[in-house]
Amino acid sequence: MMDEEIYRKYVRAGRIAADARNYGIKHIGAGVSYLEIAEMVEKRIKDAGAELAFPVNLSVNEVAAHFTPAHNDKLFFKKGDVVKLDVGAHVDGYIADTAATVEVESENYSALIDASREALMKVVDIVKPGMGLGEIGRIVSDTIESKGFKPIENLSGHSLQRYILHAGLSIPNVPDSTHEVLRKGQVVAIEPFASTGAGHVVSRGVSNIYRYVRMPLFRDVKTRVMAKKIKMRFNTLPFAERWCTSFIPDTKNGLRRMVVAGSIYGYPQLIDGAKGIVSQHEHTIIVTEDGCEVTT
């Protein structure tokens, strides 16, 4: 049974993340900058009294996940872009993770966007303790394929724990032979991805998203000082390049040096293998006695 105080923190984080997600989706439009949306959504979360579980992800068209603008980013949304907005908030380390997709001022990919949304809602409607993770993957896959698209086989949902965004349990988007089942009290993020392309992603390009791993092994004083500050500020959660400008003057080279030192991990962008267009929808749920509660 989940402690009542912990439950309240998960629910509050979910409410704040959902509000920020909806706020960001409403403001995405042609000519609006990626940076403006990212900063506006992150400010919305902080103003509501939560903290950021990870940088706002703005993954456009064939980019399925893992992109946030740098501090000096000059990218702007264009008419026809398919934008995945992925948002994370936490209250005292208890995380809500949620995403939605919007097409900028056109409707060429409405069916694709609906496919990932419908797959998510079908899972939410029937999930319960004892349900196999492979069955969730089958439902997601069948739903997306019935619409003429491909689920992304090497992206998955995940369990959540305090200050841990990916806590060990993977929720597949395709049928899976795992014998793992959901259990009452678990907190998981369900996130179907639908694609017009290959149905799998490859790693390419810099995302501007990082995560602390360890103190650097060699005796570079500057790198060790930066690593200590990153650990203190961001704990185990992912962080953005633009969050570091106040204490790392040359963020691009400073962070690259820390990646080489093994002190931080740099997430790559995840791009559809055939450069197909990708949609995503995501909710965080708490598994209850006879179903689930959506926190986001």
Do residues 71 and 157 both lie within one domain? yes
Residues 29 and 113 in one domain: yes
Percentage of residues in the chain with pLDDT exceeding 70?
99
Mean pLDDT of 80-108: 98
Percent residues over pLDDT 90 in the chain: 90
User: Is residue 146 domain-shared with residue 249, that is, in the same domain?
Assistant: no
- Residues whose CB falls within 8 Å of the CB of residue 132, separated by 6 or more in sequence, listed in order: 178, 179, 180, 181
The CATH number given to whatever domain includes residue 40 is 3.90.230.10
Residues 198 and 212 reside in one and the same domain? no
Statement to judge: residues 97 and 242 lie in one domain: no
Same domain, 253 and 128: no
Per residue in 172-216, pLDDT (tens digit) is: 999 988 889 999 999 999 999 999 999 999 999 999 999 999 987
Contact 134, 176 (CB under 8 A): yes
What count of Cα atoms within 13 Å lies in the side-chain half-sphere of residue 133? 23
Overall number of domains in the chain: 2
The more confident residue out of 2 and 4 is 4
- Considering the domain architecture, whether residues 52 and 98 belong to the same structural domain is answered as yes
Mean of pLDDT values over 54-69: 98
pLDDT band at 224; cut points 50, 70, 90 = confident
Looking at residue 49, its amino acid is G
The answer to whether residues 178 and 235 belong to one domain is no
Calculate mean pLDDT across residues 16-38: 98
Give the pLDDT score at 175. 93
List % helix, strand, coil for the chain (3-state, nearest 5).
30, 30, 40
Give CA–CA dist 259/209, Å, rounded. 11
List C-alpha distances in Å: 218 to 181, 211, 242, 263.
43, 19, 26, 10
Q: How large is the angle between the packed helices 221-234 and 251-260, nearest 10 degrees?
A: 100
Using DSSP, state whether 114 is helix, strand or coil: helix
Q: Give the active site residues.
A: 86, 97, 158, 166, 191, 282
Looking at residue 233, which CATH number applies to its domain?
Answer: 1.10.10.10
List phi, psi (to 5°) of 140.
-60, -50
Q: What is the pLDDT of residues 113-155, one digit of tens each?
A: 999 999 999 999 999 999 999 999 999 999 999 999 999 999 9
> Does 162 share its domain with 196?
yes
State whether 97 and 183 are in the same domain: yes
165 and 257 share a domain?
no
The answer to whether residues 70 and 91 touch, using CB atoms and an 8 Å cutoff, is no
Nearest to 157 by CA among 54, 51, 63, 285: 285
Domain that holds residue 229: 204-270
Helical (H) or strand (E) element with 151: strand 150-151
* Residue 120 and residue 167 in one domain: yes
